[in-house]
Structure 1
Amino acid sequence: MVKKMQLPLQTLNLIVGFMVWVLLSSLMPFITEDIQIPTERLAMVTAIPVVLGSILRIPLGYYANFLGARIIFLASFVLLLFPVYFISEASSFSHLVIGGLFLGIGGAVFSVGVTSLPKYYPKERHGFVNGIYGIGNLGTAVTTFSAPIVATQVGWSLTVKLYLILLLVFIVLNFLFGDRHEAKVRTPIVEQIRGVIKNEKLWLISLFYFITFGSFVAFTIYLPNFLVSNFELEKVDAGMRTAGFIAVATFFRPVGGWLADKFQPLFLLIGTFAIYTFAAIILAFMPSMGLYTAGCLAIAVSAGVGNGVIFKLVPLYFNKQAGIANGFVSMMGGLGGFFPPIMLSAIHSLTGQYSIGFMLLSQVALASLVLVVWLYFQDRLALTSEVFNSTGQGILVTDPKGIIKAVNPAFTKLTGFEEQEVLGKQPSVLKSGKQPKDFYRGMWQALKEQGMWQGEIWNKRKNGEEYLQWLNIAAVKDESGEDVRYVGTFTDITGHNKT
């Protein structure tokens, strides 16, 4: 019963964590009425919670494996009580910066669930399960939509204090219903870090999440004030539109995870970054409200799908180091939400517009699209290499003139010849001398006419021992029908059939 409760409980935990995480950005139009904040520092205040929320994801992902999700969620919510209360009593810019920094704990809990929940489900459901957990992003929409409405009635300070009650409720729920017997992974953190940081796939996936989740966070932070200042919307209207962006991105996250369970995840990422590139170009031209809304919704859909797909890739590539890998990837996503608001603010102060910032987003998305295509073909090559090197049959590949270009480890095991001893030579180095010339003439004639030959053949090993092979040779042709190489596969059948 407790195990079945973990997905809904941890998803609700993430909703609460994200609700707290975006408190400052959601209430900033109200806070600035009481606390004077220079315009050039406004983006910094709203982005500050992202810093700790990103960096803490590595240790929280690790300790979720080491101690279990129950303890980490409990400790996180207890710690969040202090910055929430501190912000409710804030009276200066520095108070907001200090309190906002520690609000980052709310965003850091993301790496807890993506590490814990896959333990309860088979691999073929990991994408969908992490996608459902990712619905916790909805917490940002809940706060962005509701906090301004409540603040208009009771003020921003009391609105922040109401979150203390919410945190206390979830401290109790995790204490009572968290899984005390979750499977633990005791590998030291240094050993786990060493096992993943040299893997180029970790950094590529981190870059992809830097863009998909980073843009989600950035738009969540940036849209409320932008819509008020540039389109002159009412604060509540801006909050509702931002909540709509968040809701769309959140809904498409489990859709992305489900699709990644059914289809090739890298194909889905190719589509995601293609949409990103086009949508960001639209936003760069600062169009009318209608086109701007369409561009933002396209970003929301691609961010949601991309976020879901990426956390299908992490356990595929890093099964044994899932905790630390999830921490790294989700940290980069969080940092992806820190830099864009500051960059957009700096560009706006220098040029008076945001177009350059959105054009940069389109170029980064385009570069990511190229990298995903490269990763896909690298995986295909790796798969081919694994099959070539792990098969029990001997394999040799020659050019059209019969010069050996490649052999596999099984070739060496069966013949005794190392790869460097036969490369550049012809297969005649294996001849036993038992077959007459007509035998080889017939073999080559069959290859030319039918594109393949198979049969028994006596060959000899490096030590001179003769043995009987079952040999298959196939011609590989180009688009014009010309032979470009020959691939031979063989097994030792000496003990089965002697002639």
Structure 2
Amino acid sequence: MNNLEALPKLKQTKALSASTVAFTACFAVWTIFSIIGLQIRTDLGLNDTQFGLLVATPILTGSISRIFFGIWADQYGGRIVYVTVMIAAAFATFLLSNTDTYILMLLAALGVGLAGGSFAVGVSYISKWYPKEKQGTALGIFGVGNVGAAMTSFGAPFVLVAFGWEMVAQAWAAGLITIAALFWFTTEDDPEFRARKECGEKSKGIMEQLKPLRHVQVWRFSLYYFFVFGAFVSLALWLPRYFIGVYGLDIKTAGILTSFFVVPAALVRAYGGFLSDKYGARAIMYLAFGISVVCTFMLSYPNTDYVIHGIEGPIAFSTRVGLVPFLMLIFVLGFFMSLGMAAVYKHIPVYYSENVGAVGGLVGMVGGLGGFFLPIAFGVMNDLTGIWTSCFMLLFGLVVTAVSWMHFAIRRMERAAMPETMRELPELPEIQTIHDPVEHRGALGPTLVDWRPDDSEFWEKTGRAIAQRNLWISIPCLLLAFAVWIIWSVVVVKLPAIGFDYSIDQLFWLAALPGLSGATLRIFYAFMGPIMGGRLWGTLSTALLLIPALGIGYAIQNPNTPYVIFVILALLAGFGGGKFASSMANISFFFPKSEKGHALAMNAGLGNA
């Protein structure tokens, strides 16, 4: 490895500056549909779902291509890959201006999306110029290129109104070609690639570079980035439509106000890198997620009118988020999202210095896929619920999931690193001064410290009774879970008979949503037992079934219950489907290999009954 401290600072600055400018241009092209898509929507008469797909299609290409571009940047050098990506994206953007059908526009949008893949190239290229202690700041400065979305939001509407959306595509393509030429003539190969080329050393193969992707830590980083970056991109694409639909603004004003969200968030990313270097990425992640939970909760609350039947008559009041409070909330949300982006990428060159391209590419790919799927989900939820703020409801659920996984993973790591110390601590900090580790350990509930089910003597003497007790407690819990999960197949059929005037499509969605959410939750439920403990998670997951069960009983009493309430309850019924994964994982732990099949069959068979 080269001595990066000895590199001339001028060369480092030149590489970082040129890469940041190039990424800004790429990001401007990548988000071009956030503005021209509005005019195309009008011209072609697209619904919200079709519009969401059109806006999100470039994000799909840019996301998937990141892992490949990152690997190629490590293999062939970031400089040549960067220029090639920019030329290809510019060509596709120019071709876009000559399309006139929805299908052709989707195909052209796939090529436009290559501009988004440049992020992985830049991360690989920049990290090779700076030592580990400065990489957080350097990559944070590089991430300022996100401001390209603001350039599109601010400048594209004026070009569109004056010359049409086709001119926007042509002008952005010409600009990207110009930036590509400037990048090539003002930069040089990174030190690592240059040294490898001089000594004739071969680069690592693709399979070798992909090895770190086996670590669950990489995928956890990816989930974090799915929110902090994916949600950022999706909002940059969706907000113009939101401003027009909710507040009745024109396209130019909507674009300018969207830049109010994008610009500060993009600029502060460099500061996020500095804070991650100084205070640690974990602290910044907690801060970013915590503030995001508060902001998305406040933004998700729809305009609502309340009538309370008071003692002296009805008391009416309303809750709504006006334009100014909305701008303040999205400003804060974007600010802390950007801090989170920098904190996520602080980890990658430190822990995966030999595989920055592959790991950074994967994390960027998953984050970018958030920018693809979320705008589509926003459109679907608008069509499904009829509530504009449903997009923020989705983001609220996403960030709660991310911060919960992060917190429990950290707690598990701490327990593994200091098992004896952690066992001596009290359950609550309030009783630490009166806690006696010897007297009070295990007083609030037994914990298995010795479990050897495959030891026949231990099994017959101690293990069998404990395992059987856990099995016969698990079966009725799983039975209740399946009952709550399947009950919608009965409820949906009966809704028209008791006065609910829903269409066939709406009833179909109500019947399908529990299956969708239940299947998805199984992925997360499978991890919750090891993280929280089988007993605690078994209790909590069974208690959670009360929410959809009581909710259904309450909702069906009034035929005027909004459809969105039934949608939410249908999704929550998936708690029952998800419990199967954690229940089976928990029971398998208690039995020896010779009896696992019978125990799991009893649990699943009787539970499904």
When normalised by structure 2's length, the TM-score is: 0.61
Q: Are the equivalent residues in 1 in contact too, given 2:22–2:180 (CA < 8 A)? A: no
Structure-1 separation of matches of 2:133 and 2:146: 23
Structure 1 pair 181–248 and aligned structure 2 pair: CA distance change class (3 A): closer
The residue aligned with 1:307 is 341
Distance change (3 Å), C-alpha of 1:379 and 1:20: same
Q: 1:204 aligns with which of 220, 225, 228?
A: 220
State the Cα distance separating 1:374 from its structure 2 match. 2.8
Are 1:151 and 2:160 matched, yes or no? yes
The superposition leaves residues 209-241 of structure 1 with CA deviations (integer Å, 9 ceiling, x where unpaired) of 000001110101100111111110111110001
Q: What SS does the aligned partner of 1:183 have? A: helix
Report the 3-state secondary structure (helix = DSSP H, G, I; strand = E; otherwise coil) of the residue aligned with 1:37. Answer: coil
Measure the CA separation in 2 of the matches of 1:181 and 1:304.
27
Change (3 A) 1:172 1:304: same
By how many angstroms is 1:356 displaced?
A: 3.9
Q: For structure 2, list consecutive stretches of 5 or more residues without a partner in the other structure.
A: 1-9, 197-202, 303-320, 420-436, 439-609
Of 16, 26, 42, which aligns to 1:17? Answer: 26
Which residue of the partner structure matches residue 246 of structure 2?
230
Does structure 1 residue 331 correspond to structure 2 residue 365? Answer: yes
Match in the other structure for 1:343: 377
Rg larger for: 1
Q: 2:299 aligns with which of 271, 280, 283?
A: 283
Pairing 1:114-193 to 2, within 5 Å after superposition:
114-180=123-189, 182-184=191-193, 186-193=203-210
Q: Are the equivalent residues in 2 in contact too, given 1:69–1:178 (CA < 8 A)?
A: no
Q: Matches of 2:90 and 2:349 in 1, distance apart?
A: 33
Query: CA offset at residue 319 of structure 1?
Result: 2.0
Q: Distance in 2 between matches of 1:168 and 1:356?
A: 39
Change in Cα spacing, 1:40 to 1:119, as seen in structure 2 (3 Å) is closer
Is the contact between residue 282 and residue 292 of structure 1 (CA under 8 Å) also seen in structure 2? no
| Aligned mates of 1:222, 1:208 — CA distance in 2 | 20
> How far apart, in 2, do the equivalents of 1:181 and 1:192 lie?
18
Which of 100, 106, 122 aligns to 1:91? It is 100
Report if aligned partners of 1:61, 1:327 keep a CA contact under 8 Å in 2: yes
Confirm whether residue 112 of structure 1 aligns to residue 128 of structure 2.
no
Gaps of 5+ in 1: 386-398, 401-499
Give 1:137's aligned amino acid: N
Task: Give the conservation status (yes or no) of the 8 Å contact 2:66–2:120.
Answer: yes
Distance 1:82 1:229 in 2: 33
RMSD of equivalent CA atoms: 2.0
Q: Residues 205 and 152 (structure 1 numbering): CA distance in 2 closer, same or farther, change over 3 Å?
A: same
The residue correspondences of 1:470-481 to structure 2 (distance < 5 A) are: none
Read off the aligned partner of 2:357 and give its amino acid letter.
Answer: G
Partner of 1:458: none
- State the shift of 1:320 in Å: 1.8
TM normalised by structure 1 equals 0.74
2:409 alignment partner in structure 1: 375
Q: Give, as a single letter, the amino acid of the residue that structure 1 aligns with 2:208.
A: E
Structure 1 residues 433-473: Cα deviation after superposition (integer angstroms, max 9, x where no partner): xxxxxxxxxxxxxxxxxxxxxxxxxxxxxxxxxxxxxxxxx
Q: Which residue of 2 aligns with 1:421?
A: none
Which has the larger strand fraction? 1
State yes or no: 1:251 paired with 2:267: yes
Give the partner amino acid of 1:313: H
Distance 1:154 1:356, change over 3 A: closer
- Structure with higher helix content: 2
What whole-Å deviation, never above 9, does each CA across 1:339-364 have from its counterpart, x for those lacking one? 11111211111221034442232122
The code of the aligned residue for 2:281 comes to P
**What is the alpha-carbon distance in structure 2 between the residues aligned to residue 63 and residue 343 of structure 1?**
32
Query: Which one is further off, 346-355 or 206-215?
Result: 346-355
8 Å CA contact 2:240–2:258 kept in 1: the answer is yes
Of the candidates 257, 260, 282, which is equivalent to residue 266 of structure 1? 282
The whole-number CA distance in structure 2 between the counterparts of 1:85 and 1:337 is 23
Instruction: Count the aligned residue pairs.
Output: 387
Whole-angstrom distance in 2 between the partners of 1:33 and 1:41: 12
Distance 2:349 2:391 in 1: 33
Indicate the SS of the match to 1:34: helix
